[in-house]
Every structure is written in C-alpha cells, then in structure tokens.
Structure 1
Amino acid sequence: MAKLEPCEEHIDQLTQAAQALMRLRCHNRGRERRKLRHFLVDWALLQELADGLDAQLQQAGYLELGVQPFGAWVLVQTLQVMSRFLMLGFELELYATCELQMIYWYLQGISDLRLQVHQVTQRATEVQAAAVAAAAAAKRAEKAGTNKKKKGGDKEKLKPSAVLSRGVRLEVFAAAATRDMCTGLMMLIQILKRLDFTPPTDLQFTPLHRRFEQRFAVFSLLVRPPAFTLDQYVARCNTDMGALPLTKLVDAAISTFKSAKGAIDRALHIPDLLATQSDKVDMLALARVAVANGVLLASTLQQPPPPGTRRATFDFKTHPCFPVVKLTESPVGS
C-alpha cells in the first residue's frame, strides 16, 4: 500500500513524525516535556493529513467506509503524548496539591478516550477483515465456477481473526488501570476536601481557573481530541461527585480502586504480556498504590474522624505519578 498514491508521501510524513517522537524520549525529562509542548502543535497537523488519507483510500476502494486506520493511529499517538506530558509533570514535581484533582481528571478523560478508540478500531478491523475475506471468497467462487452451484453461500458467516498484539493488549490494560486509578484518586481527594483534610492552599495570586488554563493550554491547540474545559471539570466535581452522600462516595472510591487492582492483576497473570522488567515494576507499584488507598478508605473514611481533625499528605515514593494518601493528626490551630 505504501507504493500507492496517495499513500507514499503521506506515510513518509507519518514515519518522520514517529521518528521525531522516539528521539524525544532520549532527552532528560525536563527537556522532553518542554519539547513535547512544541511537538503537540506540529503533531496536530498530522491528524488532518491522516484523516484525508483514510478518506482517499475509502474512495479508491481500499478501505471500507468507517475504517480509518491512519486517523486512529495518529489519534492514539496524540493521546499517548498528552498522557506522557501530564505524567512528566508529576516526575518533575511541577504540580501543587490543589492541582492534583484536575490533573487526574484530565488523565482519566485521556485514558477513557484511549479505550474508546481501541473499541472503535477493533470493530473497524473486523469490518475490513470481513470485507477482504468476502471479496477473496467471491473471487475464488467465480474462478471455480461454483458460485451458482453453492446454495446458501451468502449466509455463511465469516469470522475474521481479531488477535491483539502484545503491545496493544498491554496498552489496553494500562489505560484501564490508569483510568480507574485516576478516578479513584479524584474521588478520594473530593472526600478529603469535604472533610477539610486537605492542606491549606493560597490561591490569591493564581486562582484555580488560571492554573487550569496554564496546565492544559497546549491541548487547546489540538483538533482531535477537543480540549476538556474548566466547566466540565467543575461539573464533574460539584455535580457528579458533589451530589453523592459521603458514604456512597467512599464506597464508589473503594470499588474504583478495586477495579484498578483487577485490571493490573489480569495484566500480571497473562504470560509474556509484561515483557520488560520496567513494565512489571510499574504495574506492581500501581497495584500497591491501589491497595493502600483502598485500605485507607475502608479503614478510616467509611466512618471518618470529625472534619478538620486530620491532615492529608500525598506520598509519591511508591509510584512517581500516583500517590499513597496518608492521614496524620492535624496541628492545633491549623
């Protein structure tokens, strides 16, 4: 396909962009994050190019309608870069405590989109594989002259293979675990806010809406996915989670951390899925964070101490991006 017009030129452009992305990982974390900000601006242009390439291939008959492999690939790469950009902020200790909830909210949205794209891509793969198999079967039947003799051939169901590669399966499990972990941390922080357990924050000079704009400004330049807004974040916190009684919010958070642990366990028990030691270490660290925060919720916050009597701390020693929350006695007069 790479030799077909208009594929050759466009695939070359996509290849160069992918190579540039891999080169970014050779920098230290601070420089990588700075360069990712500029990279996202350039990468946004590739989405239109890839979508146009898919449309031309559909018109030429090489792809079924609705099948968009190049557009989906660029979108997945964009989501991965967005996630990497935010995760590096944790490793570089850029975020204030008051910003953690909105960062996890954005990461949860990115992870959810990654899972949605995967589902759409799987369905498109099956559609394309079925079309190719049907065309091949029709060609064989026509060549053999058996298409008239064989009855009920149109009713035969084709079952295209949908075996996922190791990398795709790992990405799906990681996205599911990240989504649930971020959702659980969002809920846990909301609980701490209700109980006045979060440390005091000075927002006089940099209010929360300004922090939101600064943290996610680079994403506003993207066409796909569209940037999440402050109104969406406020509605999630005040309307969705804010409407729940404290006991139900605690139960929901416990269930979400259990779900994250379940996704991690499934990944750990699939042979050869975690091919590198770093993958295993990261997954095990995520599991410990999920368990520790779930235990805190079940043991302390289902019947919480009086408001304002505890102070929450966020410990990133277990995992660089997802903290273990701990409660200590609140200092007198704080």
Structure 2
Amino acid sequence: MDAAVPAGDQTIWLDASSFLSSVCNELSVGELVHGENFRLFEAMSALEIMDPKMDAGMATTGFKTFEEAIESGAAPIELTIPQLVDVFDHILACEATWQNGHALAQTVFSCLYLLNVDRTAPNALLHAFCKTTRASCSMIRTAIALADIHEQEEDFITMAYGLPVEGEGDSRCLALLNTVEEVVARQLRGCKGGLSTKKKSLEDAEPLQDDPALEEGYCHAILCRLRFRKALYHILTYMDKPQGRGLEMARKHILVALSELQNIRSSSAFLSFGQAPDSVVESKERGSTASGRVAIGFDECVNRRLLAPTPPRSISILSWEDTLAYFEKLLQDLDRICSLPMTLGLEEILQFVMDYQKLKPDLFARARLQLLLLHDGKLLGRDPLAIALVKVFNVPQSVMANDHQTQAFTTQAARVTKQLLKIMCTNTAWQRRKLGRILQDWGNLLQQSKVTRDVSIEGSQLGDEVIQTENMLTAWVAEQTCWVVRQFLMLGFQLDLYSLSEFCMVYWYLDHVLLSALHYKLAKESQTTPAIDSPDSVKKKGKKKKGSAALKQPKTPKDGKFMYSVHLLQCYSDLCKGFIWMLTALTRDRKLLHRETIFNTEQERFFQRFDLLHKLMIPAPMSYFHYKDSTSQMHISVKELYQLSYDHFMAVQQHLQELGASAAKASELSAVSRTQLALEVKQMEQVSLRNRVALQIVHQVGPGDNLRVSFEFSQHPCFPVAVVKKS
C-alpha cells in the first residue's frame, strides 16, 4: 500500500486491522453499521456485499472474449481420447442443464468448441459431435418456441443473445456422424476379434490411443456416446413430422437411445478407474463427467458480455448421474407421446393430457405433445377443432348446414377448447393460474349455448332434432366447465396452496363441482338438459343419508368409457364427503387444531378461494352460508359424524371395484391413461383404508383432546392420510 499510494507530508499509514476487528466483534448479529450518511433508507438500498448473485456481474475470472480463450490455448483441437470423452460428457450435462431452464450462454455455449465449430474440423470425432449437438439444440429451441407453453425466464430461455445456434452445413451433421461412427465401430470390432483381425483392423484405421489394453474400453465409450447423439437427433427429426407420421420410427430410435444410455452408464466404471483424488478431479456427487475429471474447453464467463444487463444467474451444471437420469426420463416421456394412438377423439385426448401431466414431464416433452396435438391448429394435425367438436356433439348434418347459430357456437367452442389444450401442457403452477383465467371464457360459452338454443328453437323448422342438438351442446359445455373447475381446485392441493383450516371448505366445494359434473354428464348422455339456472338441480351437502348418495343411472346400457368416467367421479365425490365429515368431527372433538389467523376470518377466506367460481352459472355458485349450513349439523353427534365419514370411505372401495371393471371395457383409453388409472386406484385404496383405520382409533379413544390428528399427502396428491398421535 505504501508503494501504491505514498503518504503525504502530514499523513502516515497505520495498520487498522486490530481496530476494525474489535469494532466488528462489538456488532451483534443483524445489527447495521450506523453513520451520518448511512440511515435506514441507505441500508435498504445497499447491495449485499459478497452475495454471489449480486456480485456475479463483477466476476473477473475466466476469459472476456472467445478470441482471448483460444489464444491462451484453453480449447486445444488435439485432444487425447480421455479428454475427448470428458468434453462429450460435459456437453451432455450442459445440454440437460439448459433444458432445465438456464441460459444457452451459460450452459451449452460455455463450450468453446461450439462457439466456432469450423475450428474443430481437424478433429473428426469432435467436429461431428459438436455439429450434431448444435443442430439438436436448434431443433429443441425451435420446438419450445413454437409450442409457446413456457414462461420466459422461469421455464426456459429462448433468447440466443447472438450465439451461433444455427450454422451452415448442420443439415449434413448426420453424414459426418455416420462416418466417424463407422471408423470407431471398425476399430472396436478389431479389438474384439482375434490377432489376425486386429492386425487387419490396425492396417485400416489408426488406434484411438497408444495403450492397446485400453483401446477396447475407449472405443466402446466413444461409440456409445456417438450413437446416443445420433439416436437423439433421429428422434427430434422424426417427431417433427406432421400428423404423427414419424412417431413409429421415433419410438425405434428411443429404444436405441435408451440402450446406448445404459452403455454410457456402464462405461463410467472404466473411465473413472484409477483416477487420483487430486484438485483436478471433481467429487462423484457433483462431477459432470463419467471420469470425474474437469472437462477442458469450457468457460462459463466467456459469453457474459452477450447476456442481458441484469446480473447473470448463478448456476450449477447437473452432475453426471443427474444428467443420465434426466435424459432417461426425457426419453421415456417422449416414448409415451409416440405411443399416443392417432385415432383418439377429443375427450380421450383431454384424458391423456391430464394423465400425462401426472408424470411431471419436462418442458421439451410437453412442448412436443402440444405440437403433436395442435399441429397447424388442427387436432392431431388432421381435422380442425370445430370438426372434431361436431363429432363429439354428434350433430346431424342437416342442423349444421342450416343452423347458423350452431355453427357460430361450434367455432367459439373450438377456440376455447384449443386454448384449454394448450394450457394443459404448461407447468402445474401456470396451468392453475391460466385455468382460472379461462373460466370466464367457459362461462361466456355456456351463456352463448343458452342463447343459441333459444334462438334456434324459435326460428328453426327442424323441430325435435334442433332441440335435441342444442340440449346436447349445453350439457357438453356445462360438463366441460365443471371439468375445468375441478382441475382448478385439485391443482391447489398439488401446489400446497390450501391450509389445513381450508381443507373442509375446499372438499365441500369440490364435491359440489363433482356432483354437478356427474349431473350434466348423465344429461349429455341422455341428450336432455335440466334447468341449468337453478342451483337446486344439484343436491345440497348435508341433506344426504349415511353412505354414498344413490345416483340415478341411465336406463340404457352404456359403454365402458362412459361408465368409467361416472365411477371415477363417484370415487372422488365419496372421498370428498369422507373428508368433509371427518374434518368436521375432528374439529368438534378438539383433536384437530387450527391456527387462528388475525388477518382474515373463515368467511373471508371462503370468499377469497371461491370468488372466481361465483362468477360462473355452472357449477351453481355456493355461498359461505350454504357451507356452514351443510357442515354444522349440530343435531348429529361426533360419533355419528365419524361413522358417516367411515361409510363414505367404505363406499369408495366399492366404487373402485366398479371403476376397474368399467375401465377394462373402455377400449378407447390410451396406455398412459390405463397405467395412471391403475396407480390412482391403488392410491385411493390406500387413502380410504388408512383413513378408516384412523377413524376407528379416534372413535375408540372417545371425545377430548387426548389425541392429535394431522394430515399428510403421502399416498395421493389431492387426498391426504390422517396421522394420529398422542397429544
């Protein structure tokens, strides 16, 4: 310091370390430094020193430009085979990290080789791999942008910031990859063959490295990575074909990719064998390569001048095991999309999308599903949605040709249905928010169906045929509106939005929605519509006898698909009723503690949760006073409430058996829907069984606060299990 800033005539330099240390020791945790010009406002406006997110933009490590990195020799073209494998592995890890929502500049294009792929031409293996990687990333980015189901800066970052995402000649990357694959495959065959074969092979191709004992292992490691890269490129190409024409070939390449992924995983033991635990080798928990070494040719700061002016995100590249797990799940999700029958109708497609979302697919898989479902605005790329809806409505051609009101309604319904399909492909949090936004659109569509019905009946000469059609349209819209509301409420449990004190009211309203959906499903099937303006068309809670409500079944025998959906609604409804009376009884019995809130009352929370639904005509709006009136039931004892809840959980068991039998007859269900149904049946069985056991325990113990009951969602995402403990 003396040399840098010399002291003046009247100043000298003194060591203040001890003084600063003593002052710091006097400060308590969280105490601010007080000064004349550092008051509360300045403290709140100040940056937090040493916060990695705030200081990331000031980082001076790494290279400032690509040219500087190349001049320093950070990305040599002549690589040993172990180094080349590390580069391949780290590129895969960066690609998986990018697809999980981070910027291209900090992930895939932190690879210096990808910033100028032409530089890698002397190294055929590296050149082919980099070209194919860039082409694959371009296709993935394009697919996600076209699907438009992501939230910028949250799900995915489509901006490239001027990076060379697309390059000339990338369409020929497959030819390059095939060439180097054949060379390595020939070398591997030579290693596996006899002595004469080895000599002949060595004459045709140079060994990848100098040690003959390791040649076969490295050939296998390189080859499985090249083949995985090739299979992934084929999958992207075939899935991009319209109307699902490439899905069968895509499935074949998915099987190849999964097989090569297992080979890549099995090669990790060979690549990491004999590695010394020095500073160059990363820990196995966070290493992004199979060998555990740090790959050369990467710098996460080289593109920082291309990023937005905000501080760059502090990211962590996925570990090698997480990378393999990500690609394995991605391939499985894509395989489920490829298994989607192209002959499904609209209702079966909606069921498939809902069941597919339960698997929690990643963004790219959801984007591919959305592009398949709505290619060029047509359902599965074949028929416009309006025509698909006409098939659902089963509208006679004479009505469609002569009734302009029905035509206008079908066009509007197609627009709202298309929006619903797109929303169902978004992530869970945004799906719920957007479902809340389109509820009003479905409400408007319901009003339009009423107007269409009234106008068509008055002005048409077709008589009963028009009346039957318009009743069908109204019942369909009412049923779909109930479906959207049901999904909106149930997603709240998956997102952990409800507190324990709100469970009872949410299940009560959800039960009302389920009964409304069942009511209009039966009305649609019989092609008659009840009075939709009266909330009396739906049975009030609290007015039912013990056990499951006896629902009037259609007189005519129905197909398995219809009965499957009816039994599923009945299962949900009985579960809701079971929880309504269970929560009511536990609260009255002082075995369930609710945290009192001073900021709002129960009535205000009810309004906040369901105000959005009160704007709809269907399901009929239910007020807080309806809720209190149906759940108070002071004339029923606590033991009777326990028994009432127990009976509803028992009824679930019966409905589950009927559900399994009807689902077996529903040939229209996809393989994904059948798998998810089998899983959900097991989940609901466990919820019903465990809650019955909990009810028996609290019933035997008797009244009082001698037990404490809590709930956990360990079996089903929307229906919890009661956990009983001594207080």
Q: TM-score range by the shorter chain?
A: 0.7 to 0.9
**Post-superposition offset of 1:209:** 1.0
Match of 2:726 among 319, 329, 332: 329
Alignment of 1:87-236 (within 5 A): 87-124=490-527, 162-236=556-630
Map of 1:44 onto structure 2: 443
Q: 1:3 aligns with which of 397, 401, 409?
A: 401
Partners of 1:230 and 1:125 lie apart in 2 by 31
Matched, 1:33 2:420: no
Cα distance change on mapping 1:161 and 1:89 into 2, 3 Å: closer
Per-residue deviation at 1:10? Answer: 1.7
Alpha-carbon shift at residue 329 of structure 1 (Å): 1.3
Q: State how 1:244-323 maps to structure 2 within 5 Å.
A: 244-270=636-662, 271-273=664-666, 275=670, 276-298=674-696, 300-323=697-720
1:122, distance to aligned residue in structure 2 (A): 3.7
Q: Equivalents in 1 of 2:407, 2:523: separation in Å?
A: 26
Amino acid at match of 1:41: Q
Q: Per-residue displacement from partner, 1:135-168 (whole Å, max 9, x unpaired)?
A: xxxxxxxxxxxxxxxxxxxxxxxxx994534443
1:267 is aligned with what amino acid? L
The verdict on how the C-alpha distance between 1:102 and 1:73 changes in structure 2, with shifts beyond 3 A counting, is same
* Aligned 8 A contact 2:452 2:470 in 1: no
Measure the CA separation in 2 of the matches of 1:21 and 1:166.
Answer: 25
Q: Secondary structure of 1:189's partner?
A: helix
Map of 1:129 onto structure 2? none
What is the alpha-carbon distance in structure 1 between the residues aligned to residue 469 and residue 508 of structure 2? 30
Deviation, structure 1 residue 65: 6.8
Give the match's secondary structure for 1:205.
coil
Change (3 A) 1:161 1:309: closer
CA–CA distance in structure 2, aligned partners of residues 121 and 315 of structure 1: 37
Task: Give the drift of 1:212.
Answer: 0.5
| Mapped contact 2:614–2:621 kept (Cα < 8 A) | yes
Structure 2 contact 471–528 (Cα < 8 Å) conserved: no
Give the number of aligned pairs. 294
- Which of these two proteins has the greater Rg computed from alpha carbons? 2
AA of the residue aligned to 1:265:
Q
In the TM superposition, residue 302 of structure 1 has moved relative to its aligned partner by 2.6
Contact 1:44/1:224 (<8 A) preserved: yes
For the 8 Å contact 1:67–1:124, the answer to whether it is kept is no
Cα deviation for residue 25 of structure 1 reads: 0.6
Q: CA deviation at 1:205?
A: 1.1
Taking a change above 3 Å as real, the CA distance of residues 34 and 201 of structure 1, as seen in their structure-2 partners, is: same
Task: Tell me how far apart the structure 1 counterparts of residues 502 and 451 of structure 2 sit (CA, whole Å).
Answer: 38
Q: Distance in 1 between matches of 2:650 and 2:469?
A: 36
Q: Within 2, Cα distance between the matches of 1:190 and 1:66?
A: 43
CA positional deviation for 1:114:
1.6
Q: Which ranges of structure 2 fall in alignment gaps of 5 or more residues?
A: 1-396, 530-553
Which structure shows the higher helix fraction? 1
CA RMSD across the alignment: 2.2
**Stretch deviating more after TM superposition (58-67 or 183-192):** 58-67
Structure 2: which amino acid aligns with 1:26?
C
Shift of 1:306: 4.4
Deviations 1:277-316, CA, capped at 9 Å, x for gaps: 1122112211211111112223x13323441111111110
Counterpart contact for 1:75–1:224, Cα < 8 Å: yes
Q: Distance in 1 between matches of 2:588 and 2:507?
A: 18
State how far apart, in whole Å, the 2-side matches of 1:296 and 1:25 are: 36
Structure 1 pair 48–163 and aligned structure 2 pair: CA distance change class (3 A): same
| Alpha-carbon distance in structure 2 between the residues aligned to 1:200 and 1:12 | 49
Q: TM-score, normalised by structure 1?
A: 0.82
CA contact (8 A) 1:125 1:162 kept: no
CA contact (8 A) 1:25 1:32 kept: yes
When normalised by structure 2's length, the TM-score is 0.39
Is this contact kept in 2: 1:122–1:162, CA < 8 A? no
Q: Which amino acid in 2 is paired with 1:225?
A: P
C-alpha deviation, 1:179, in angstroms: 0.8
Note closer, same or farther for the CA distance 1:287–1:67 as it changes in structure 2 (3 Å cut).
farther
Give, in whole Å, the separation in 1 of the partners of 2:482 and 2:682. Answer: 24
- Which has the larger displacement, 305-314 or 78-87? 305-314
Structure-1 separation of matches of 2:499 and 2:555:
47
Residue 13 of structure 1 aligns with which residue? 412
Asked which structure has the greater RCO (Cα within 8 Å, sep 6+), the reply is 1
Q: Distance in 1 between the 2:418 and 2:561 partners?
A: 18
SS at match of 2:621: coil
One-letter identity of the residue aligned with 1:292: R
Once residues 280 and 63 of structure 1 are traced to their aligned partners in structure 2, the CA distance between those partners, rounded to angstroms, is 40
Range with greater deviation from structure 2 (22-31 or 192-201)? 192-201
Check whether the contact 2:482–2:618 (CA below 8 A) recurs between aligned residues. Answer: no
Deviation at 1:195, TM superposition (A): 1.5
Residues 1:237 and 1:114: Cα distance change in structure 2 (over 3 Å): same
* Distance (Å, rounded) in 2 between the aligned partners of 1:236 and 1:203: 23
Give me the whole-angstrom Cα distance separating, in 2, the residues matched to 1:78 and 1:234: 25
